[in-house]
Amino acid sequence: MPYKFEELEVWKLAVGYLDLIYKLANGLPRSEDYNLKSQITRAATSIALNIAEGSQGQSDAEQGRFLGMAIRSPVETVACQKIIERRGYIQDESLLNQAYENSQILARKLQAFRKNLSTQYQVREESSPYGEDDLI
Protein backbone atom coordinates (compact mmCIF):
# COMPACT_ATOMS: atom_id res chain seq x y z
CA MET A 1 0.00 0.00 0.00
CA PRO A 2 1.51 3.36 -0.99
CA TYR A 3 1.96 6.24 1.41
CA LYS A 4 -0.57 9.07 1.06
CA PHE A 5 1.95 11.49 -0.41
CA GLU A 6 2.77 9.12 -3.28
CA GLU A 7 -0.73 9.64 -4.67
CA LEU A 8 -0.65 13.45 -4.51
CA GLU A 9 -0.36 15.26 -7.82
CA VAL A 10 1.59 18.05 -6.15
CA TRP A 11 4.17 15.57 -4.80
CA LYS A 12 4.59 14.05 -8.27
CA LEU A 13 5.12 17.53 -9.69
CA ALA A 14 7.66 18.27 -6.94
CA VAL A 15 9.65 15.15 -7.83
CA GLY A 16 9.55 16.06 -11.52
CA TYR A 17 10.75 19.55 -10.64
CA LEU A 18 13.53 18.02 -8.55
CA ASP A 19 14.67 15.99 -11.58
CA LEU A 20 14.78 19.19 -13.65
CA ILE A 21 16.73 21.05 -10.96
CA TYR A 22 19.29 18.21 -10.77
CA LYS A 23 19.70 18.42 -14.55
CA LEU A 24 20.28 22.15 -14.24
CA ALA A 25 22.66 21.74 -11.27
CA ASN A 26 24.71 19.11 -13.09
CA GLY A 27 25.60 21.76 -15.67
CA LEU A 28 27.20 24.02 -13.07
CA PRO A 29 30.97 24.30 -12.77
CA ARG A 30 32.74 22.28 -10.06
CA SER A 31 33.53 25.51 -8.24
CA GLU A 32 29.81 25.72 -7.39
CA ASP A 33 29.50 22.17 -5.97
CA TYR A 34 29.34 23.41 -2.37
CA ASN A 35 27.51 26.64 -3.11
CA LEU A 36 24.83 27.03 -5.79
CA LYS A 37 24.66 23.36 -6.76
CA SER A 38 24.19 22.24 -3.19
CA GLN A 39 21.77 25.07 -2.36
CA ILE A 40 19.46 24.63 -5.35
CA THR A 41 19.26 20.84 -5.04
CA ARG A 42 18.61 20.99 -1.28
CA ALA A 43 15.85 23.57 -1.80
CA ALA A 44 14.20 21.49 -4.52
CA THR A 45 14.52 18.32 -2.43
CA SER A 46 12.92 20.14 0.49
CA ILE A 47 9.71 20.65 -1.50
CA ALA A 48 9.07 16.92 -1.95
CA LEU A 49 10.21 16.06 1.57
CA ASN A 50 7.94 18.62 3.24
CA ILE A 51 4.94 17.48 1.23
CA ALA A 52 5.63 13.89 2.26
CA GLU A 53 6.27 14.66 5.92
CA GLY A 54 3.20 16.86 6.21
CA SER A 55 0.93 14.21 4.72
CA GLN A 56 1.35 11.60 7.44
CA GLY A 57 -1.22 11.80 10.20
CA GLN A 58 -1.02 15.53 10.70
CA SER A 59 -3.74 17.99 11.62
CA ASP A 60 -4.60 20.57 8.98
CA ALA A 61 -2.64 23.17 10.93
CA GLU A 62 0.45 20.95 11.09
CA GLN A 63 0.13 19.91 7.45
CA GLY A 64 -0.31 23.57 6.51
CA ARG A 65 2.94 24.35 8.33
CA PHE A 66 4.82 21.76 6.27
CA LEU A 67 3.21 23.03 3.07
CA GLY A 68 4.25 26.55 4.06
CA MET A 69 7.85 25.37 4.22
CA ALA A 70 7.42 23.61 0.86
CA ILE A 71 6.00 26.79 -0.70
CA ARG A 72 9.09 28.81 0.21
CA SER A 73 11.48 26.38 -1.43
CA PRO A 74 10.52 27.00 -5.09
CA VAL A 75 11.22 30.69 -4.47
CA GLU A 76 14.65 29.76 -3.15
CA THR A 77 15.34 27.69 -6.26
CA VAL A 78 14.30 30.60 -8.48
CA ALA A 79 16.69 32.92 -6.63
CA CYS A 80 19.45 30.38 -7.34
CA GLN A 81 18.37 30.20 -10.99
CA LYS A 82 18.66 33.97 -11.30
CA ILE A 83 22.19 33.86 -9.89
CA ILE A 84 23.09 31.01 -12.25
CA GLU A 85 21.73 33.02 -15.17
CA ARG A 86 23.50 36.19 -14.06
CA ARG A 87 26.83 34.36 -13.78
CA GLY A 88 26.36 32.80 -17.23
CA TYR A 89 26.87 29.27 -15.90
CA ILE A 90 24.20 27.67 -18.11
CA GLN A 91 24.19 28.27 -21.83
CA ASP A 92 20.89 26.45 -22.44
CA GLU A 93 18.37 29.19 -21.66
CA SER A 94 15.49 26.82 -22.45
CA LEU A 95 16.44 24.74 -19.41
CA LEU A 96 16.39 27.82 -17.18
CA ASN A 97 13.07 28.93 -18.69
CA GLN A 98 11.55 25.49 -18.17
CA ALA A 99 12.72 25.42 -14.55
CA TYR A 100 11.26 28.88 -13.96
CA GLU A 101 7.90 27.97 -15.51
CA ASN A 102 7.73 24.71 -13.57
CA SER A 103 8.52 26.55 -10.34
CA GLN A 104 5.53 28.83 -10.91
CA ILE A 105 3.18 25.91 -11.59
CA LEU A 106 4.43 24.05 -8.55
CA ALA A 107 4.14 27.12 -6.30
CA ARG A 108 0.55 27.75 -7.45
CA LYS A 109 -0.43 24.16 -6.82
CA LEU A 110 1.19 24.13 -3.40
CA GLN A 111 -0.69 27.32 -2.51
CA ALA A 112 -3.98 25.86 -3.73
CA PHE A 113 -3.40 22.61 -1.87
CA ARG A 114 -2.67 24.47 1.34
CA LYS A 115 -5.72 26.67 0.85
CA ASN A 116 -7.98 23.66 0.28
CA LEU A 117 -6.99 21.44 3.17
CA SER A 118 -9.88 19.41 4.44
CA THR A 119 -11.30 19.89 7.89
CA GLN A 120 -10.45 16.27 8.69
CA TYR A 121 -7.04 14.95 9.66
CA GLN A 122 -6.21 13.62 6.24
CA VAL A 123 -4.62 14.74 3.01
CA ARG A 124 -6.76 15.44 0.00
CA GLU A 125 -6.47 17.35 -3.23
CA GLU A 126 -9.25 18.83 -5.28
CA SER A 127 -9.81 16.85 -8.46
CA SER A 128 -10.35 20.00 -10.49
CA PRO A 129 -7.40 21.89 -11.98
CA TYR A 130 -5.82 24.61 -9.88
CA GLY A 131 -6.76 28.16 -10.80
CA GLU A 132 -4.52 30.89 -12.07
CA ASP A 133 -5.75 33.17 -9.28
CA ASP A 134 -3.79 31.11 -6.75
CA LEU A 135 -0.47 32.72 -7.71
CA ILE A 136 1.85 33.63 -4.90
CATH number of the domain enclosing 62 = 1.20.1440.60
CB atoms within 10 A of CB 85: 14
Question: Across residues 85-103, what is the average pLDDT?
Answer: 95
Question: Across residues 54-81, what is the average pLDDT?
Answer: 90
Residue 122 belongs to some domain of the structure = no
The pLDDT value given to residue 71: 95
Beta-carbon contacts of 106 under 8 Å, excluding residues fewer than 6 positions away, are 10, 13, 14, 17, 47, 74
Residue 135 belongs to some domain of the structure = no
Asked if the model's pLDDT at residue 128 lies above 50, the reply is no
Asked if the model's pLDDT at residue 120 lies above 80, the reply is no
Question: Across residues 100-118, what is the average pLDDT?
Answer: 92
Taking the C-alpha atoms of residue 51 and residue 57, their distance in angstroms, rounded to an integer, is: 12
Residue 121 belongs to some domain of the structure = no
More confident: 113 or 121: 113
Residue 133 belongs to some domain of the structure = no
Domain count, the chain: 1
- Domain holding 32, by residue range, is 4-116
Residue 34 belongs to some domain of the structure = yes
